[in-house]
Structure formats: C-alpha cells, structure tokens
Amino acid sequence: MTVVLALRKNDDRITAKAIQWWTNSIYSHCELIVNGLCYSSSPMDGGVRAKTITMTSDKWDFIELRWAHAEAIQQYFKDTDRHKYGWSGLVFNQLFNLNRSPDKSQFCSQWCAAAIGLPNPASYSPATLGALCGFVDSKLQLAT
C-alpha cells in the first residue's frame, strides 16, 4: 500500500494563516493518505480521525513516502483514534520548542510524524515534516 504525505498550502483561514506566518511556510496542515483515506488530527474534526477528503493540487502538495508502512499508520490510528486535537501541544512545542507531548491529544504534524515512526514527533510543523519527508524521498530516488 502506498503512503502519501499531503501538505495543505496557502490556506486563508485565520488559524492557518497564523501557522503559515509562524513557520514561515506556505503549509498549515498535513495528512497521511493510505488507500484514499486521510489520517491526521484536525481541530475542525475535534482531533484524530480518518476521512475521505477531496484534494486538489492548487491547495495541496503531495510526497510519496515509499519507506512508510501503511499497516503501522493504520495501527497507530486505531491506538489514537479518540485523541483530542492538541492545542496545548501545539503551543508548547511550536511556540516554545519544549518538545512535550500531553497524553491523548496531538496536532496534525505531530500525529503524522508519530504514525510514520519519526523520533520527537511533537517537534515537527507541517513545513518541517514536509521538508524531511521530501529530503528522504529525494535520497531514495537517487539510490534506486
């Protein structure tokens, strides 16, 4: 199964604009896509969830994660399905760089980074997660 990181770009909502400004990036949100289903943590949905989202290239960038394991993402979703959106983690980790993870709450890039097995998942913003995944993807392409 293919795993894709989807990065929401140029979003005009107020919270998205704040994230884009703070991270100096065009990205405000991220999702992992497995078999057409999007997995992440979203404030609009109250936290961790899986759902179908229509994504267009004018609003999303996509990075195939050939090294990620779809089964591990699906299992992580089952383990965290009832977690709330991590507003406190977002503030502590992205504004103050404290790298703390409150129990049972996660923000989008934290959830995605944890689901694909990256260390210190709370330290990633959508921009830094996208940059790392793009870097790894480019190295894998060179190796093949």
Is the pTM of the predicted complex or chain greater than 0.85?
yes
- Res 81 pLDDT > 90: yes
- Res 144 pLDDT > 70: no
pLDDT-wise least confident of 5-14, 61-70, 79-88, 91-100: 91-100
pLDDT category, 100, cuts 50, 70, 90? low
Residues 6+ positions from 114 with CB-CB distance below 8 Å: 76, 80, 106, 121
CB crowding 4-37: b at 16 or more within 10 Å, else e: bbbbbbebeeeebeebbeebebebbbbbbbbeee
pLDDT at res. 8: 97
Contact 33, 102 (CB under 8 A): no
**Tell me, what amino acid is at 104?**
K
- The 3-class SS string of 33-59 reads EECCEEEEEECCCCEEEEECCCCCCCC
Q: What is the mean pLDDT of residues 130-142?
A: 85
